[in-house]
Amino acid sequence: MSDSKAAPAPKREPQRPARTGPATFYRQVIAELRKVVWPTQQQLTTYFIVVLVFVLVVMAIVSLLDLGLGRLFFEIFGGRD
C-alpha cells in the first residue's frame, strides 16, 4: 500500500444548455402547435358529454357514500337521541 495522498480532482460544474431568446422560443412554440391534431367540433362535443357524465356519476357515488356512512356512524355512535 502506498501512503501517497493524491489531491482530489477539481469538481467541474455541469454545462448548462444555452438559453434561447424569446423570439426563438415563440417560433418553436408555433412550430409545435402546428403539429397538434386538433379535435373536430363533433369530437369536442362527444368528449365534453363523456366527461360531464363521468363527473356526475362520480359525484353521485361520493354523495351516496357520504350519506350512507354518515347515517351509519350516527347509528353506531348515537349522534341523535
Range of the domain at 50: 39-81
Determine, yes or no, domain membership for 6.
Answer: no
> Contact at 8 Å (CB) between 21 and 29?
no
pLDDT per residue over 26-72, tens digit each?
Answer: 999 999 999 999 999 999 999 999 999 999 999 999 999 999 999 99
Asked if residue 33 belongs to a domain, the reply is no
User: Per the domain annotation, does 14 fall within a domain?
Assistant: no
C-alpha grid cell, residue 60: 353521485
- 69 in any annotated domain: yes
pTM reported for the whole predicted model: 0.55
Question: Are 54 and 60 a contacting pair, CB within 8 Å?
Answer: no
Task: Please give the helix or strand (H or E) that residue 43 lies within, else none.
Answer: helix 41-77
CB 28 within 8 A of CB 20: yes
Which stretches within 1-40 are classed as H helix?
Answer: 22-35
Structural domains of the chain, count: 1
